[in-house]
Amino acid sequence: MKRFITSGIAATALSLPTLAAAQEAVSFDQKVNDIFASSTGWFVNLIFAPLPGTAFPWIVLWLVVAATIFTVYFGFIQIKAFGHAISLVKGDYTDPNDAGEVSHFQALTTALSGTVGLGNIAGVAVAVGIGGPGATFWMIVAGLLGMASKFTECTLGVKYRNEYADGTVSGGPMYYMTKGFKERGLPGGKVLAVIFAIFTIGGALGGGNMFQANQAHAQITQITGDFSGVITGVIFAAIVFAVIAGGIKSIANVTEKIVPFMGVLYVLAALIILIVNYDQIGWAFGQIFAGAFTGLGVAGGFVGALIQGFKRAAFSNEAGVGSAAIAHSAVRTKEPVTEGVVSLLEPFIDTVVICTMTALVITISGVLVVDPATGNFVLNEAGTAIKTIDGSSGVALTSAAFATGFSWFPYVLAVAVVLFAFSTMISWSYYGLKAWTYLFGEGKKTEMTFKVIFCFFIIVGAAAQLGAVIDFSDAMIFAMAVVNITALYFLMPIVKREMNSYFGRLKSGEIVKHEQ
């Protein structure tokens, strides 16, 4: 993802006391960055370290290998259960008397709101800019494989969730690590759960909160000019608090409206671009397939395309990270496998549909050309030569691509970025909350403490320039995947047993559609 740096008021327009205060604030931000960089840099470097002799981060390979294993182990569940997933989301098998707090559709949109975001706008542009159009092919492949990881973790999330007398539930990796390991007679489940919860809280406050607020504020200032980050943060914090104060039901009620709206808005704009340039769609797919194997990118040809595609899919849909299992655990159902099946749609929508639409628009629009002098991709010969090789121009490239069809698209992009950031924050607030209550106990006072802390960090994220802090929190999010996938390997026989039982009863007619 692109890291935006929030712009302050021009120094020439400041009085001396204000200038001194601004310089002091920048100095404070820099001190915080320096402290974090020196104390946590080793952790960030460890999580995102490349495999020896390659540019491929080991954490991405960890996610892709797990997704492949789950795909084979569960008999390509993402293909054979895809139609049933749609039926479940429609509510065909929903019994309103089942335990849980939200519908299948609400659980799906809540989880999607945490993954569909700025990576779909900026990250895809970076992947295509570095790996060429062929990166799109491998992005799709990794997205399809990731569906099996989501199935595994979300089935376990529902199976081992805690159901309380007041109708609320708590679930996710912390609970299936503790209960699942105990059921199988395996040691270490509690330890894994605590480590996972710590990583989740860190990731929620940073990547799921401060980074989102920072990106949203930067996009707002690009449209409106100089604007106070504190004001942006306070407004966001107030709105987010108003939503999350009501718990998962309130969050789900918002996400079930925002996610379809922002998804349709973005995809519709992409479709119009593609329709206008319909004669180039075949050529674009040709570029994607050719680049996937022959290498039309600037970063290692075939290998570069594969690396960038896999990285973007892993960083976008979070399959295997375990975060979505927390949201899906709140679903109203008595059959754990049903939510595992519904979760198959999440990587498909996030990566296969939305990320691919972005990549197609960039490829067709003509903004992505190669500078013959350097071999790097630039925006176009007539425009500003903003290079994507360093990963710093993702949103600019996407914006330029859409602007070829709509001169006003930067305004739509600003709305999309704000909505994506907002939806991600409210979803990650729930993830962080469940990790917090796992560590410190259930209760309204405990929950309110975390919600206040979360909203405070929104203001910090919008107002400050905390790159090292956000890098650390990103690393914590993917450290979640190390712990989570380790547990999934031990617990996947339980998922297979549940899967065989459910589909066996569905086939025999024991499980039937519920009358609405």
pLDDT tens column, 55-64: 778 888 898 8
Structure tokens at 258: 């925002």
Give the structural domain span for 123: 31-43+54-508
Do the domain assignments include residue 431? yes
Do the domain assignments include residue 20? no
- Considering Cα of 158, then 159, then 161, then 163, what sign does the dihedral take? positive
Structure tokens at 152: 């595994």
> What whole-number distance in Å separates Cα of residue 267 and Cα of residue 202?
32
Do the domain assignments include residue 2? no
pLDDT of residue 11: 37
> What whole-number distance in Å separates Cα of residue 164 and Cα of residue 443?
12
Residue 125: give its domain's CATH number.
1.20.1740
Neighbours of 7 (CB within 10 A): 14
pLDDT of residue 198: 95
Mean pLDDT by 10 residues, the chain (516 residues): 33 47 54 69 86 82 92 95 90 75 80 69 69 80 91 94 82 94 94 95 86 79 74 88 80 77 80 85 83 57 66 75 88 90 89 84 72 49 39 58 72 77 86 92 88 90 72 83 95 96 90 69
DSSP 378: E
Three-state DSSP at 162 gives strand
pLDDT of residue 385: 37
Do the domain assignments include residue 6? no
pLDDT of residue 324: 86
> Is 17 exposed, middle or buried (CB count within 10 Å of its CB: 0-12, 13-18, 19+)?
exposed
pTM check: above 0.75: yes
pLDDT of residue 382: 38
Q: How many domains does the chain have?
A: 1
Q: How many CA atoms lie within 13 A of 488 on its CB side?
A: 34
> What whole-number distance in Å separates Cα of residue 298 and Cα of residue 302?
10
Do the domain assignments include residue 384? yes
> Is 303 exposed, middle or buried (CB count within 10 Å of its CB: 0-12, 13-18, 19+)?
middle
Are the C-beta atoms of 220 and 200 separated by less than 8 Å?
no
E strand or H helix at 102, and its extent?
none
Are the C-beta atoms of 137 and 207 separated by less than 8 Å?
no
71-117 per-position pLDDT tens digit? 999 999 999 999 999 988 888 777 777 777 778 888 888 777 767 76
Do the domain assignments include residue 426? yes
Residues 6+ positions from 419 with CB-CB distance below 8 Å: 258, 261, 262
Do the domain assignments include residue 22? no
Q: Which residue from 98, 161, 151, 81 is spatially nearest to 514, judged by alpha carbons? A: 98
pLDDT of residue 475: 84
Do the domain assignments include residue 364? yes
